[in-house]
Amino acid sequence: MRILVDADSCPVKEIIVKQAKKYSIKVHMYFDNSHEYHDGYSFVYILDKGADSVDYFLINHVYENDIVVTQDYGVAAMALSKKALAINQNGHIFDDENIMTMLSFRATSQKIRRHKNLKGPKKRTKVDNIKFEENLTLLINKNK
């Protein structure tokens, strides 16, 4: 088991590394080349900024029972298809039961955004971080 992170805009990298150290799990962070990152623990991959290049590179390196941290429903769906686990930065665990609903929601939201100016996501709270850490720990223990 490893933790693979779609890390460009991931706000919980420190929590991931903290939990990974606690359970002696390797972490792989994937960024496009507009970022620089070092935490002294993770394997860091800097990739070209091409359309979805980080997503495809990450998915090509996912194995069964890995944990993928991503905000992207498409990446989560591909991870699940490879029998990996997937969680978003707010602690929402993706599974075979909910992923189709999430993908459908994404498609609908894209259509709506084309026609209206909508506000972005709500501001992160401490509760989001707590939920993420609790559910990441749950996934880690589920895989042990």
pLDDT in tens, 95-104: 988 777 776 6
Residue 33 domain boundaries = 2-143
What is the value of pTM for the model shown? 0.86
44: β partners: 29
- Taking 70 as the pLDDT cut, the residues of the chain under it are 103-121
Instruction: Give how many domains the chain has, as a whole number.
Output: 1
CA distances from 47 to 4, 28, 61, 106 (A): 14, 13, 14, 25
Burial 74-113 (b: 16+ CB within 10 A, else e): ebbbbbbeeebbbbbbbbbbbeeeebeebeeeeeeeeeee
Q: What is the CATH number of the domain that holds 52?
A: 3.40.50
